[in-house]
Amino acid sequence: MRRDLILGALTSALLLAACADGDDHGHGPGGHAHDEEVGDHGAGGDEHGHEHAEEAHAEEDGHGHGGGIVVTDYSETAELFVEFPPLAVGRASEFAAHFTRLGDFTRVTEGRVTVRLAGGGAPEEVFTAGASPTPGIFRPVARPRHVGTRDLTVILEAGRLVSVHRLGEYTVHETVEAADASLADAPHEDGLIPFLKEQQWQVDFATAPVVEQTLFHSVQAPATISPAPGGDATLSAQTEGVVLAGEAGFPGVGDIVARGDVLVRIAPNLGGDQDFAGLVAEREAARAAFNMARTEFDRLRSLAEQGAVAQRRVEEARAALQTARARLTASEARLEAVEGGAAGGVAVRAPISGRIAQLNAGAGSYVQSGETLFRIVDTSRMRLVAQVAEIDASQLGQPQGAWFTLLGGDRTFDLADFDGRLVAAGAAVDPIRRTAPVIFQFDNSAGFAAGTLATARVRTSNRFDGPVIPANAVIDDAGQPVVFVMADGENWRRQPIRIAVRDGQSIGIASGVEPGERVATEGAYLIHLAASGPAEAGHGHAH
245, part of any domain: yes
User: Domain check: are 390 and 318 in the same one?
Assistant: no
190, part of any domain: no
461, part of any domain: yes
192, part of any domain: no
431 alpha carbon, distance to own chain's centre = 41
> Which H/E stretch holds residue 527?
helix 524-530
**What is the C-alpha separation between 278 and 169, in angstroms, rounded?**
97
194, part of any domain: no
Question: Which of the listed residues 344, 377, 410 is the one where a domain comes to its end?
Answer: 377
62, part of any domain: yes
Is beta strand 161-173 parallel, antiparallel or unpaired with respect to 87-88? Answer: parallel
pLDDT attached to residue 43: 32
User: Domain check: are 471 and 358 in the same one?
Assistant: no
User: Domain check: are 321 and 426 in the same one?
Assistant: no
At residue 391, φ and ψ (nearest 5 deg) are -70, -25
**What is the C-alpha separation between 94 and 143, in angstroms, rounded?**
9
**What is the C-alpha separation between 331 and 346, in angstroms, rounded?**
19
First vs last C-alpha separation in the chain = 25
pLDDT attached to residue 502: 93
Question: Which of the listed residues 343, 377, 411 is the one where a domain comes to its end?
Answer: 377
User: Domain check: are 399 and 509 in the same one?
Assistant: yes
Question: Which of the listed residues 377, 395, 426 is the one where a domain comes to its end?
Answer: 377
What is the tens place of the pLDDT at every residue in 88-125?
999 999 999 999 999 999 999 999 999 999 999 999 99
User: Domain check: are 218 and 247 in the same one?
Assistant: no
What are the Cα distances from residue 416, in Å, to 220, 383, 442?
Answer: 17, 13, 9
| Three-class DSSP category at 62 | coil
Per the CB < 8 A criterion, the answer to whether 34 and 141 are in contact is: yes
What torsion, rounded to 10 degrees, do the Cα atoms 533, 535, 536, 542 define?
30
User: Domain check: are 393 and 478 in the same one?
Assistant: yes
What is the domain range of residue 455?
Answer: 208-227+380-521
Per the CB < 8 A criterion, the answer to whether 127 and 115 are in contact is: yes
| Three-class DSSP category at 9 | helix
pLDDT attached to residue 339: 55
**What is the C-alpha separation between 19 and 21, in angstroms, rounded?**
5
At residue 35, φ and ψ (nearest 5 deg) are -95, -5
Residues present in the chain in total: 543
At residue 236, φ and ψ (nearest 5 deg) are -120, 160
166, part of any domain: yes
**348, amino acid identity:** V
User: Domain check: are 89 and 109 in the same one?
Assistant: yes
**What is the C-alpha separation between 91 and 143, in angstroms, rounded?**
5
* CB-facing half-sphere around the CA of 175: CA atoms within 13 A: 3
Q: What is the CATH number of the domain that holds 165?
A: 2.60.40.1930
> pTM for the whole thing?
0.66
What are the Cα distances from residue 516, in Å, to 192, 212, 214, 492, 508?
Answer: 19, 9, 16, 15, 15
394, part of any domain: yes
User: Domain check: are 159 and 266 in the same one?
Assistant: no
User: Domain check: are 221 and 104 in the same one?
Assistant: no
Number of domains in the chain: 3
Beta strand extents in 350-434 (DSSP E only): 354-359, 366-367, 372-377, 381-389, 401-406, 412-414, 421-425
> DSSP H helical segments within 245-344, as ranges?
276-305, 311-339
501 forms beta bridges with: 508
CB atoms within 10 A of CB 471: 14
Instruction: State the 10-residue block means of pLDDT for the chain, 543 residues long.
Output: 47 44 37 34 36 38 61 96 96 96 95 96 96 95 96 96 96 94 76 94 96 95 93 87 83 89 80 63 89 91 84 86 89 66 68 90 85 91 94 89 92 94 88 93 93 94 95 94 95 96 94 96 94 50 36
Is beta strand 354-359 parallel, antiparallel or unpaired with respect to 346-349? Answer: unpaired
**What is the C-alpha separation between 431 and 434, in angstroms, rounded?**
5
| Three-class DSSP category at 22 | coil
**Torsional class of 240: left (φ above 0), alpha (ψ -120 to 50), beta (otherwise):** beta
User: Domain check: are 169 and 237 in the same one?
Assistant: no
pLDDT attached to residue 169: 96
What is the tens place of the pLDDT at every residue in 324-349?
998 888 888 766 655 554 345 778 88
Q: What is the CATH number of the domain that holds 462?
A: 2.40.30.170
**What is the C-alpha separation between 529 and 520, in angstroms, rounded?**
13
**188, amino acid identity:** H
Per the CB < 8 A criterion, the answer to whether 429 and 370 are in contact is: no
At residue 495, φ and ψ (nearest 5 deg) are -130, 110
What are the Cα distances from residue 111, in Å, to 54, 83, 102, 106, 158?
Answer: 16, 19, 16, 15, 4
What are the Cα distances from residue 236, in Å, to 124, 260, 367, 417, 425?
Answer: 83, 15, 10, 37, 34
**What is the C-alpha separation between 185 and 481, in angstroms, rounded?**
34
**What is the C-alpha separation between 469 and 358, in angstroms, rounded?**
44
User: Domain check: are 356 and 402 in the same one?
Assistant: no
**What is the C-alpha separation between 4 and 365, in angstroms, rounded?**
58
Largest CA distance in the chain: 138
Q: What is the CATH number of the domain that holds 295?
A: 2.40.50.100
User: Domain check: are 215 and 256 in the same one?
Assistant: no
